[in-house]
A and B are shown apart, each in its own frame.
Chain A
Amino acid sequence: MAIPDDIKVMDVDVLVIGGGTAGPMAAVTAKEKNPDASVMLLEKANVKRSGAISMGMDGLNNAVVPGHSTPEDYVKEITIANDGILLQKGVMAYAQRSYSMIQKLDKWGVYFQKDETGEFDMKKVHHLGTYVLPMPEGHNVKKILYRRLRRHRVKVENRYQAIRLLKDEAGVVSGCIALGTRDAEVIVVRAKAVIMCSGAAGRIGLPASGYLFGTYENPSNCGDGHSMAYHVGAELTGLECYQINPLLKDYNGPACAYVTGPLGGYTANAKGDRFIECDYWSGQMMMEFYNELQGGNGPVFLKLDHLAEETIQEIEHVLHTNERPSRGRFHDGRGTDYRTKMVEMHISEIGFCAGHSASGVWINEKGETSVPGLYGAGDMASIPHSYMLGAFVYGEICGENAVEFARERDVPKLDEDYIIAERDRILAPLKRTDGIPPSQFEYKVRRLVNDYLQPPKVSKKMDIGLARIRAMENDIPYLYARDPHELLRANEAQHIFDCAQMAAVASLYRQESRWGLYHNYVDHPETDNENWFCHVQLFKGENDNMTCRKREVEPYVVELDDEEKNAYQQLRVQAG
């Protein structure tokens, strides 16, 4: 059977899915490594302003800069922050390239704060080491990346949502099927290697405001990559280690302790008192935050009202021009002035994000997923606490390795039957004349996630939640889209539906508590290192059942002493 004329097929050597942070770096690196290779960057929005850093970034959270810390120090810090469950080699690969990546970005024109001697102006926010490098003028990062894409003649295709990965008879990834978000055009990109950089799954839970798009993450990062990886047979890991972040209540953007902390701001309770030793985000820190929110001293606030006028102006400049610049507008609307009022904080809805926690598509230190020919980088891939700089570094690693993989490979064969069946499935909501709008379907899944899957996790609740979410499988044949935009949302909603099930299945599998609030499992309240010092891998098992297995933690490359191991367990400010 041939591929029908209405499906355009494009051929490239390396396909990068997602043009936010890791994606452009992966594409540029692949072209640098092999200028003869054809490299396509497929983006659901527009690479000029897509992804988590569409408006830039206000600082590096994990800069490993000589003189301030070593890669070994950093690996230790993240090992502790992640309760020991991590691929240390993967974090080490990041740490060893961290400084050279900063230098590369500096050379490209990204502005990092420097002190009077011209050295990077490092700040301490983490529990042990010094890793924060402010970027007060970091709003132009995307422009700089875009210039690089142009210079290296990366082929950019905007406004296509990748929906399913393709693989050949040998099980090697051979491209993807994608949907034009403005015209519902179905295309196939045949590729010898694929790098997924599709961001966090930030639309699993429902924000407290009830506004579907008022999420912590850029809501275009809805778990497309997680769903695609799952359906092509790749393993995901640590999904029970949810991302939950502290943020400005209702606004749902970061309060930015990393920006305000070095300037004297801190997280406080209703009495204005500090209750945590360290504002670096970890599950343990979030547990203390949650306890304070729920307790008699709540809610929780960002406290800046004790700071000098010039300090407050500096904070306002950084926070109101970078990353989430509408923060200032939000405060104005409520009459909140940092000078006179503490700012109410809350915790985010749950999500999967390796940038801040550890959940995502499994990759190793080469950026390889468990499926040959498929690479992953950034918030979607599993290297923990990697933030923006980790996305850049793994974008680089994946770009190098994927282009080499492609060099050795012939043009793969396409599975026409699968492609035709997928086209029909993807377009089906547009063919109907009535039914369930994607927004209602999505709201229901995400409301069930909040009701049943948020921590504190309880077996019976999660069982009910999983059963009710799974029952929505019966609703999918009724999804109804009136135009291509709604069709995009209908396909996103199905990826969210997949991710919601993954959150439940992985959480039910790990029968212990770990990572503070992230996996606070009430039925199994203790951490059980004897049985659960392991990764939980999730994959499509026999009969297409969502299945989990344990994966051993690989031997450490950096050992920790006992005192260090407990550092993140003692985050509450001691009385007296």
Chain B
Amino acid sequence: MPTASQISMVPVVVDDDKCIADKGCRTCIDVCPLDVLWINEETGKAHMKYDECWYCMPCEADCPTDAVTVNIPYLLS
């Protein structure tokens, strides 16, 4: 069965200028209960790879550089 990809706007935004994932930080990636934050292979920074968010906020609360912002997912905002 063939498949197609669709895009979606994701609620978690990472400020690449502040993010220190390229220095080895994995805090937001570690704490996400749904495991939706991953390293962006191109930039070395954290990003939201899957649109599966509970807007629960440990990623934002635990980030050591205040690089992460959790927005309310568009469908329920």
Contacts and interface: CB of A to CB of B under 8 A. Distances in A.
Nearest to A45: B33
A182 B38 CA distance: 10
* Tier of interface size on chain A: 35 or more
A251 B30 CA distance: 25
Interface string B47-62: 0011011111110011
A211 B71 CA distance: 14
B7 interface: no
A509 interface: no
Chain B facing A: main interface SS:
loop
A326 B62 contact: no
Q: Chain A's interface: helix, strand, loop or mixed, by majority? A: loop
Interface stretch (A47-55, A409-417, A541-549, A559-567): A47-55
Interface in B1-58: 1-3, 30-36, 49-50, 52-58
Contact of A159 (B35, B52, B58, B76): B35
B56 A45 contact: no
A215 B31 CA distance: 19
Contacts of B50: 485
Interface in A126-179: 158-159
A489 to B, nearest CB: 8
B58 A251 contact: no
A203 B34 CA distance: 13
A334 B77 CA distance: 8
A322 B56 CA distance: 10
B72 A251 contact: yes
Contact of A250 (B1, B52, B53, B76): B76
Given A54-B58, A218-B54, A182 B35 contact: yes
Indicate the member of B3, B71, B73, B76 with the most A CB atoms within 10 Å: B76
Contact of A209 (B52, B54, B70, B76): B76
Contacts of A325: 57, 61
Contacts of A333: 72, 77
Contacts of B77: 250, 330, 333-334
A330 B72 contact: yes
Interface string A411-444: 0000000000000000000000011110000000
Contact of B75 (A49, A211, A326, A437): A211
Interface string A205-227: 00101111111001110000000
Contacts of A213: 34, 52-54, 73
A275 B62 CA distance: 41
A382 interface: no
Interface of A: 45-46, 48-51, 54-55, 158-159, 181-182, 207, 209-215, 218-220, 250-252, 324-326, 329-330, 333-334, 434-437, 478, 480, 485, 488-489
Given A218-B33, A434-B1, 13 more contacts: A48-B30, A49-B62, A55-B61, A182-B35, A218-B56, A219-B34, A251-B76, A252-B76, A326-B56, A326-B72, A330-B72, A485-B49, A489-B52
